[in-house]
A and B are shown apart, each in its own frame.
Chain A
Amino acid sequence: MSELLPQEQIAAFKAKASSVAHPMEMVVDVLRAIQTENGWVSDEGVELAAEILGTSPLKVEEIATFYDKIYREPVGRLVIHVCDSICCWSRGGEEVATYLQDKLGIHLGGTTSDGMFTLLPSCCLGACGEAPAMMIGLTTYGNLNPERIDEILEQKRQELKP
């Protein structure tokens, strides 16, 4: 198994799992850690999580495939979640989603050819007072319009430059 997590982190998780009454409680933490390190959770990631928690890969897969913020397919370097719930819808959310797809040259669910961005829909982000909104990674951006979207995407590209 290639290094999905640093050895010290695996050891720390294993130590915690063996010291608590309910190790499965840690499953989302472990999956999120694997995802933070690798961008997504592969089959090997599921197996590693199962090994850490002392359970079967199937029990982990049940969890990994339920949550829309756990990615069981490769994603771009950044994942954009664009809200399509009612408040964003009422303030131009559909136009924002269309603009993002046009600008990035992909449909919802796709990844840009340069591997930078994956674009996914999301239910309400809890930014209803700043609709329309999107979340990139774990940062939410509101009051979106084409100019602001261009600014944000450019800023992200700059941040990701080596």
Chain B
Amino acid sequence: MNTYPQLLFKNRKPGETTFLDGFRKTGGYEGLATALKDLSPADVRETVKNSGLRGRGGAGFPTGMKWSFFPCDQKGEKYLVCNCDEMEPGTYKDRILLEADPHQLVEGMIIAAYAMQIPVGYIFIRYAYAQATRNLLQAIAEAEQANLLGRNILGSGFDFELHVHPSAGRYICGEETALLNGLEGKRPNPRSKPPFPAVKGLFSKPTTVNNVETLATVPHIITGGVDWFKKLAANPEGAGTKLFGLSGHLQRTECFELPIGISVRQVVEEYGGGVWKGRKFKACLPGGASTPYLRSEHLDVALDFGPLEKVGSRLGTAGVTVFDETTCMVSATLNLNKFFARESCGWCTPCRDGLPYVSWLLEKIESGHGTMDDIENLRGQMHNINGRSFCALAMGAMGPIDGLLRLFEEELIDHVKKGKCPFK
């Protein structure tokens, strides 16, 4: 029983989608009305900055800071892009949100656009999210009808038009500059940064790219206020609630809205119902495929950005994937690495050629043909691959490798010594 305050999941009902009438009944679009009537764009930006909201797409960049880079007062073409290319393995929260309550994103985007004085927005949505796409198209049509989108929104003089752009696959499209290239109809290779999107983004114009959940949180910060939002967290340095998508070896693999800073233990035991099949917790990914593993000594760590960074991991997308004691961590890491290797866009050599090489090393060790030299070679590849490309895909791929070497080195050595996988 989830007794924590529900912001994003306020209207969530199993098997149903809330559209405009239902959304308004529970206070929907009051945040927008307040922002347009009582707050200047600078006030909204200040509020979001003070709230401590950090990006919910994986990187956790402070949202207020990102918005402060944007040339709000510049005239001409400017864009707000919502990144709905959710494809980080273990992550499905944005889909759940949009299948339940699409107007949250729409309202969040209008407020964000007002804050940064942006006239045009896009929602870049992955191919596989067909129902969410239909929901958003319906919500946008409703909002246009109700003078919540388009010209002179609610008589404020602010204009904002919103478009949905469905994609056609590939994980790299979730990288913000690859996404922008994809949106422009170019081959979605990432761009070398700088320049950053705030300077030269969509169609080379100033652009802010934010995640679905980040934008959907904005109306709640406006209506509830900064202090209220901060106090929702379970830990002193955290702010707000977070959608946690559970997966892997748990009794219950569902998506819950919980306070940021809740412990791994509480998520696993209370909300996940504990490890499945009466087995024991061995490891977990706290926030999606690119976040280094946690072990049982980390069960009491707070699921928040800062605390996880302190233990060598990251909150990422808060997709918590649990592994039980029968899991071979070398095998799990190989699966993760093969994902990243296949999803490389191919542009930069350290990623395109480095990741398959790491897969080869892991395969060699997992199949029992590895040597101690191979383990050292694996460690060396982290240095060769990390931070040497246009984007962070390869760096993310090194997350599991880092976790494996740091926390499960014994398992690697065991494979080498035994000449086979000890778990088979």
Contacts and interface: CB of A to CB of B under 8 A. Distances in A.
A62 interface: yes
Contacts of A24: 184-186
B249 to A, nearest CB: 6
Interface stretch (B22-30, B111-119, B228-236, B240-248): B240-248
A90 B254 CA distance: 16
B247 A129 contact: yes
A129 B129 CA distance: 15
Contacts of A32: 166, 168
A78 to B, nearest CB: 15
A89 B185 CA distance: 33
Contact of A129 (B165, B188, B245, B289): B245
A63 interface: yes
B88 interface: yes
Contact of B126 (A21, A53, A85, A126): A126
Interface stretch (A3-11, A67-75, A153-161): A67-75
A31 to B, nearest CB: 7
A69 B86 CA distance: 15
Contacts of A31: 168
B355 interface: no
B67 interface: no
A77 interface: no
A27 B185 CA distance: 6
A116 interface: no
A129 B48 CA distance: 31
Contacts of B167: 28, 67
B215 interface: no
A103 B134 CA distance: 33
Nearest to A130: B253
A86 interface: yes
A90 B169 contact: no
B95 A126 contact: yes
B170 A66 contact: yes
17 contacts: A28-B165, A28-B167, A67-B167, A86-B285, A86-B335, A87-B89, A87-B247, A87-B248, A90-B321, A90-B332, A91-B249, A123-B339, A124-B91, A128-B90, A129-B255, A138-B127, A140-B128
A37 interface: no
B91 A129 contact: no
A68 B170 contact: yes
B291 to A, nearest CB: 11
B336 interface: yes
The number of chain A residues touching the other chain, given as a range, is 35 or more
A106 interface: no
Nearest to A30: B185
A126 to B, nearest CB: 4
A108 interface: no
Given A67-B168, A90-B323, A135 B128 contact: yes
B142 interface: no
Contacts of B305: none
Contacts of B128: 69, 125-126, 135, 138, 140
B406 interface: no
Contact of B289 (A85, A91, A135): A85
Given A24-B186, A86-B89, A124-B88, 18 more contacts: A23-B185, A26-B185, A28-B165, A28-B167, A32-B168, A63-B187, A66-B170, A69-B128, A84-B338, A85-B89, A85-B335, A85-B339, A86-B321, A86-B332, A87-B89, A124-B289, A128-B321, A138-B128
Given A32-B166, A63-B187, A126 B248 contact: no
Contacts of A89: 332, 335
A79 B115 CA distance: 43
Sort A-B residue pairs by CB-CB distance and give the 7 closest, nearest first.
A24-B185, A67-B168, A69-B169, A85-B89, A128-B247, A87-B247, A124-B89
Interface string B328-348: 000010011011001101000
Nearest to A87: B247
A86 B90 contact: yes
A9 to B, nearest CB: 17
B127 A126 contact: no
A63 B185 contact: yes
B168 A70 contact: yes
Contacts of A25: 165, 183-185
A125 B89 CA distance: 8
B248 A67 contact: no
Interface string B71-107: 0000000000000001111111011000000000000
